[in-house]
Structure 1
Amino acid sequence: MSESRLPEEGAVPLDDRGLAYGDGLFETVLVRDGEALLWEAHLARLARGCRALGLPMPARDRLDSLPGQAGEGLRVLKLILTRGSGGRGYLPPAEPSPRLRWQAAPFSPQPHRWRAGVRVRLCRLRLGLQPALAGLKHLNRLENVLARQEWQDPEVAEGLLCDSDGWLVEATCMNLFWRRDGRLETPRLDRCGVAGTLRAALLEALPIAEVDAGPEVLLDAEAAWLGNSLQGVWPLARLDDARGSELKRWAPGEAHRSLQAEAHRLLGYSPSMAS
């Protein structure tokens, strides 16, 4: 895979706090021919994370220069910002010197999943509650790593996660949406989970209610979707429990296309690729 990064920035040292403690943030951005999609939303989330962790925000002109260096065609730009080195143990330095690293690689979405939908399963792992970090894309993703190890079946595209109180939160790397009684809904993310940039854009564009709901809500849903700012929106075609037994099926069709169409408009994906 071809990758690019800033030539003057070398390897991350072993005493980097991001490496040692997950003390930092990251963003993954879809870039088309040097133009970053949902760029302002990515920068807004990065700024929220910097405020929450007490990190200086990188200079705007430095960040704005990166998409243009990502290369031609469809690319995924990954930014990693750590607190840098220093401090004593968990105590961070009073004046941190953050490290910003980035790389860009070719990216291809999966249009067959846009059209046919995906099979997902419920995960056994429960997300811990931490409102101070809720919504942020911080570097400590061990819960997601453990959840993703729960299945090996390539037919299962994603796993759905609940928090320790049993409320739906997200998939391992995507946000969750459903339509119930004609109303669009998505899990509330004020106690844990990652508030995706595509989710934020859809909340602005469409009447989507943020709710507390357990996984049983999906059994009553007329349609359901997963989405993020790289893959776009996948309709759910089948839901399994944590043992792999089928709980619900949907037939992706017109009922699934409205939310998908708005998401793909925001990401510049052609509507014809999903039909």
Structure 2
Amino acid sequence: MSQLLDKETLKKMIRENVKTLYRKTLEAASAEEVYQAAVFAVRDVITDKWMKTHDEYYEKDVKVVYYLSMEFLMGRFFGNGLINLEMYDEVKEVLEELGIDYNMVEDAEPDPGLGNGGLGRLAACFLDSLSTLQLPAYGCGIRYHYGIFEQKIENGYQVEAPDNWLENGDPWGIKRNEYAVEVKFGGNVRAVPKGNGEYRFVQENYQSVIAVPYDYPVIGYGNNTVNTLRLWEARAKNKLDLKFFNEGNYQKAAEEELLASTMTDVLYPADEHIQG
């Protein structure tokens, strides 16, 4: 049983979270809503460990491993997190005592398909191992809005549909606006003399997007280490050009936003054309 949350506290937190998030009683809540409420209850424990982990790294000025990958196939966070926190049996019992089937709650979590079986799963295993070995580490990747794809079978053939894993919110990711950065593409570089024989280089006529990070916890098994997976998404520097909008040119008004969103929309766009 968790040393930080006893069963009665956990029950109360889940009930309160359902009320606060959805204006419902627990009995009226769907499996998806109970799942979200349970995540926010468990995140209370995770966040304490997460903050202490990073405070310790900062105080000791440790060297940090940064693992960069285009893919991180982490799997569902809830069940894996409970096992690593050693809270699985406790949470399962709490839900059963509340009259809720744990498996229905676990199945309500979408699986973020942000990778495929090879590269993406290897990256995820490395992150899990680094946390379990209590080694300071960050995973760095891209927060794709749509995963690899959702498979449907129609008339005996596979049909691929967008895997919208963010459709019902993202209770695991913490948006970190304070670390957003501008990323510049293309344009040209002009050398400006400083007057002392040196030059200052200025990039001009470029297109740019704002990269916004979201932090996800990577929980070590049976310890107090919680490292971070930082996934970045692109957004436009100027979301809407009001001049074009007021002229009725709505497509042109949102052009910059569309360009930015396509960069982090889909895990693998088809690449048989130049845009892909």
Using the size of structure 1 for normalisation, the TM-score is: 0.27
Which of 1 and 2 has greater Rg?
Answer: 2
Structure 1 or 2: more strand by fraction: 1
| TM-score normalised to structure 2 length | 0.27
> Higher helix share goes to which structure?
2
